[in-house]
Structure 1
């Protein structure tokens, strides 16, 4: 439908309940509102909104070029169509403490269920070694304190991402995670955790902390199954760029087919039909509402 049936607070409560459930929460990355509808239809637990994907959607490399307004508004467009909670990447918070406060307030107003903030120097420079761009733990804790104090809805989930694995090792990750939790973070996202053994170390060191695993292709982390992550005690897994990569690869094949063969006829059977798209979009529900406004579902 035009909007989700659940309120923003209901989705935040569902997010927190999921993290506390003992069941792995799987959040694929949405590159559009339509893809978010597909994620919900397929039975996933939530929506992830990646900074890399959002930048790519704007035709920009992931170099901190997207603004707060662009990120927040795109997050709103995605979050509003689904009853699933949405976690959004807001890089380093878009500035100093006062900027972080504005970021959190805007995300709350626009219906996001939570966000993650990273301990890198802003703006983001994807591909630059983390050792050269990390802020000190105290500076990141200051960001987290600002974000936590900015919340008007205490159920908004605040996740702290640390990129310290490459330069400070797991000991550095754990020390930073504890500082960020003390500052008010609800969950820890340790980037570049290599494998099962390293996740086990983190789980033992942070026994009561919700942990997020980044299952991004072509990255430093081993791609683990949902069962493996569940057994490791991981609370949440994100698949940030998977759908965008699949969609762009399929689109490229389609365009090449038209260019070479002069028609798309040979690949029509690989497409969503008009009927399938209408089904996903709830076309008939809109028609029923247009005929009788009291047909709006609750």
Structure 2
């Protein structure tokens, strides 16, 4: 876990190394620093900062482009500081044109993330598994990706290009865009929301070898649930599980509040003790630092 005296971010090269392994890299979603620590403590090698979850947790609203770049970067910075594993962050559309992308990349890099993904939707964007999406011309997105490549100061910052064109112009157009985005310098390709296993297989067949591929295992979304073994067989390198933690937290809070309303007594069944929770969020470290720096 990230400690209070930590001075460096996890090496970005670590993320790139993880993506070369035979099995896909599993990246559960985190929507705040606490959920990120839980992902790390569960033994995962990378944390994914979900834009859907960030929007829901910060303002209690759907992912329809309501948050700005500064709010997203601030959340990324807090998540990075809470963990020692690499963080991949949703950077939406880059929050404007190619010039805006320059600053977006620099701010995320300064926040310490190991990778970001940029998408080709218009602003304001929508969650990739919602209806009503609109995409910008492929040539405009190519320019934005070229700007992203030029903006990064650390060549190990991973740039993931996401296309939402499948829902708008069909899967063939999405695959053609992905190829163009790879040629523009994207390190990893992300074709969002294929709606059948056959479509997932087509993405893998046509793009495998062009660049590492992302599979978005969006819980309850439009892409069918596919076993990890099958995803591995198809050649995907990174699997995002964006909102499972958010949905689980929502279910747990609902159940707890309902029990409290019915009985007037908080339900403590299955929850960590007070000491277990304070240990989880780093109280022993704080106590050690208090002793270390106490005046004599």
Q: TM-score, normalised by structure 2?
A: 0.92
1:40 equivalenced with 2:43 (yes/no): no
Alpha-carbon offset, residue 6 of structure 1: 7.9
Structure 2 unaligned residues grouped into runs of 5+: none
Aligned length: 288
Q: Does 1:53 align with 2:56?
A: no
User: Does the CA contact (< 8 Å) of 1:141 and 1:179 recur in 2?
Assistant: yes
Q: 1:169–1:71: structure 2 CA closer, same or farther, 3 Å change rule?
A: same
In structure 2, the partner of 1:20 is 20
Q: What is the alpha-carbon distance in structure 1 between the residues aligned to residue 109 and residue 31 of structure 2?
A: 20
Match of 1:296 in 2: none
Matches within 5 A, 1:1-298: 1-3=2-4, 5=6, 7-8=8-9, 10-59=10-59, 60-126=61-127, 127-130=130-133, 133-208=134-209, 209-264=211-266, 267-292=267-292
Q: 1:177 to 1:4 in 2, by over 3 A?
A: farther
Q: 1:40 deviation in Å?
A: 0.7
Q: Is the 8 A contact 1:91 1:122 kept in 2?
A: no
Please give the alpha-carbon distance, in whole angstroms, between the structure 1 residues aligned to 2:75 and 2:39. 17
Q: CA offset at residue 84 of structure 1?
A: 1.1
Secondary structure at the counterpart of residue 30 of structure 2: coil
8 Å contact kept, 2:28–2:244 = yes
Q: Deviations over 1:189-246 (max 9, x none)?
A: 1111234433332222122211111111221111222222222211011111111111
In structure 2, distance between residues paired with 1:237 and 1:249: 23
Q: Deviations over 1:74-111 (max 9, x none)?
A: 11001111111111111110001111000000011110
Determine if contact 2:208/2:235 at 8 Å carries over to the other structure. Answer: no
Where do 5+ consecutive residues of structure 1 fail to align? 294-298
- Partners of 1:196 and 1:232 within 8 A in 2: no
Task: Give the whole-Å Cα distance in 1 for the aligned partners of 2:139 and 2:30.
Answer: 33
Native 8 Å contact 2:194 2:223 kept in 1 = yes
TM-score by length of 1: 0.91
1:235-258 per-residue CA deviation (whole Å, 9 max, x = no partner) reads: 011111111111011101111111
Q: RMSD across aligned C-alpha pairs, in angstroms? A: 1.7
- Aligned equivalents of 2:18 and 2:5: distance in 1? 19
| Secondary structure class of the residue paired with 2:94 | coil
Q: Give secondary structure in 2 for the equivalent of 1:29.
A: strand
In the aligned structure 2, how far is the partner of 1:3 from the partner of 1:145?
36
Show structure 1 runs of 4+ deviating over 6 A.
Answer: none
- C-alpha distance in 2, partners of 1:23/1:287? 40
How far residue 3 of structure 1 moved from its aligned partner, in angstroms, is 4.8
